[in-house]
Amino acid sequence: GDYAKIDNHRALRNGYPEVIFCQGKSLEHINGIISKMLELGENNILATRASKEVYESVCKITDHAIYYDLARIIVIKRKEIIKTKKNILIMTGGTADIPVAEEAAVTAEVLGNSVERLYDVGVAGIHRLLARLDVICSANVIICVAGMEGALGSVVGGLVDVPVIAVPTSVGYGASFNGVAALLSMLNSCASGTSVVNIDNGFGAGYTASMINKLNGDD
């Protein structure tokens, strides 16, 4: 169809995958876009915010779709992915933050990064985080995913000398206001070197972390 202008100038230049954001799009519409992508290029394809139903529909037009259900991502792999030596560490405050963290993790992996995961290490039980200082201090870029009071980014940002990307999640209730409390907390972080993406935007965090991780080469 003519409904979406596929933006493939980035992909042409540097092998970035094509990305499609599925939320709010019809199955037919999604398949139309993916078909066009399959025709036009050779890049890998990443479909985010994809339900199981979307995955099943996409399977009708390609055999190469893999579904990451926690991350709600479909990957259509057409090119080999070479991983960086240095890794991106992805941490969460609680277990309910894991879907957002996985969206970041799968995105970063498809973009060619080595990814380490450290989940459920929220600051209200600081010993869990301190027990893993080795992993934390050996990362090249860190993504901190947290809802509720969103303090993970501040504590981690104060421990390391690498860029930290903080992702607020909508996990919580009452005065968490669907992630606003965590968002504000992260924007006010006293730890220098921290920046923030939209609430629940695991994709954006993974993408940004990849850009940073691959800057200046990787060796």
Ligand X SMILES: Nc1ncnc2c1ncn2[C@@H]1O[C@H](COP(=O)(O)O)[C@@H](O)[C@H]1O
Residue 39: CB minimum distance to ligand X, A: 17
Does residue number 139 form part of the binding site for its own copies (CB under 8 A)? no
Q: Please give the residue whose beta carbon sits closest to Mg ion in the complex.
A: 120
Q: Residues 6 or more apart from 96 whose CB is under 8 A from it? A: 147, 169, 171
Q: DSSP assignment, residue 17?
A: P
* Side-by-side strand order, sheet with 65-68: 18-21, 45-48, 73-76, 65-68
Residue 177, class by beta-carbon neighbours within 10 Å (0-12 exposed, 13-18 middle, 19+ buried)? middle
Residue 82: CB minimum distance to ligand X, A: 22
List 65, 74, 98, 104, residue binding its own copies (CB under 8 A) = 98
8 A C-beta contact, residue 65 and residue 76: yes
Does residue number 120 form part of the binding site for Mg ion (CB under 5 A)? yes
48 binds, among Mg ion, ligand X, its own copies, none (CB under 5 to 8 A by kind): ligand X
Does residue number 40 form part of the binding site for its own copies (CB under 8 A)? no
Does residue number 82 form part of the binding site for its own copies (CB under 8 A)? no
Q: How far apart, in whole angstroms, are the C-alpha atoms of residue 69 and residue 102?
A: 9
Q: How far apart, in whole angstroms, are the C-alpha atoms of residue 52 and residue 49?
A: 10
Residue 36: CB minimum distance to Mg ion, A: 12
Residue 51: CB minimum distance to Mg ion, A: 19
Piece in contact with its own copies (CB under 8 A), picked from 35-43, 60-68, 74-82, 205-213: 205-213
